Amino acid sequence: MTVLIYLGRLADLTGTPEETLDLPANIETTADLRTWLNTRFPAAETGFDTSVRIALDSEICAEPSPIGAAREIAFLPPVGGG
């Protein structure tokens, strides 16, 4: 199982701050993940574009990156500052 975390405005687009699921077997890289999420959440359209960074187990990854055994994948839109 993988935990997907949608931060900031992304939670408004997906309708949930996080979800736990089994990723389809054909999703191997962060690029696959973006394409899959954009089709999964049609309301989000290009919500998962390249301004959204991806953290695998709370480490920002250089993309495209293999997902490997990451258990927590977070999607970080541009930060808003404190």
Partner 1 sequence: MRTISITSESFDPAERLRTFTSAAQTAGAIVSFTGLVRPHSTSGQVTRLHLQAYSPMTERGIENAAREAAERWPLDALSIVHRTGDMAAGDAIVFVATASAHRRAAFEAADYLMDYLKTEAIFWKKEYTEHGEHWIEPRAEDYADHKRWQT
| Contact call for residue 62 and partner 1 (CB under 8 A) | no
Q: How far is the CB of 17 from partner 1 (least distance, A)?
A: 9
Collapsed DSSP state (helix, strand, coil) of residue 11? helix
| Contact call for residue 3 and partner 1 (CB under 8 A) | no
Binding mask 18-57 for partner 1 (x = CB under 8 A): -------------------------------------x--
Cα separation, 62 vs 43, whole angstroms = 27
Quick one: CA torsion of 31, 1, 9, 41, rounded to 10 degrees?
70
E-assigned strands of the chain?
2-6, 18-21, 53-56, 59-60, 72-76
Nearer to partner 1, 42 or 81 (CB): 81
The binding site for partner 1 (CB under 8 A) comprises 5, 7-9, 55, 58, 60, 74, 76-82
